[in-house]
Amino acid sequence: MNGTSQPSVKYFDPNGDTRLLFNEGKPDEKIFVVSYKTMSLVCDSWDRMLNPNGPFREATQDGPISLPDDDWKGFEILMNIAHLHFKRVPRRINFQLLLSIAVLTEKYGATKIVRPWSREWLKYNK
């Protein structure tokens, strides 16, 4: 983490056991506090990546798990959906955010969780 300022922290689960780090070392560095169990139920890739007993380095390292290639804005929407914070999910999103969500859901195999919102998002971006 950067030495000049503290990252902004957002809790998706007040008892969250996993910390995800975005934009490490940058002015807009963010930490999301999430539930491993919730994420593991959403998709197998998150389960494999975050399982403390699994083979991946991300799950066994101390401190937050850095996701340098993931857009935090799109990931924030996915975490709101996964953690059942539906009131925080926007009904309309711009094309750039729609693209970000599409990339993330494809990458992690989580497309199914956005299905209830996808029609409205696509309609808004025609």
Determine how many CB atoms are found less than 10 A away from the CB of residue 63. Answer: 9
Estimate to the nearest angstrom the gap between the alpha carbon of 5 and the chain centroid.
22
Q: Encode pLDDT of 69-110 as tens digits.
A: 999 999 999 999 999 999 999 999 999 999 999 999 999 999
User: Which run of H or of E encompasses 98?
Assistant: helix 95-108
Question: Residue 51 half-sphere exposure, CB side, CA atoms within 13 Å?
Answer: 12
Residue-range domain boundaries for the chain:
8-124
**For the domain 8-124, what is the CATH superfamily, name and number?**
Potassium Channel Kv1.1; Chain A (3.30.710.10)
Q: Encode pLDDT of 48-62 as tens digits.
A: 888 877 777 665 667
Stated pTM of the model: 0.89
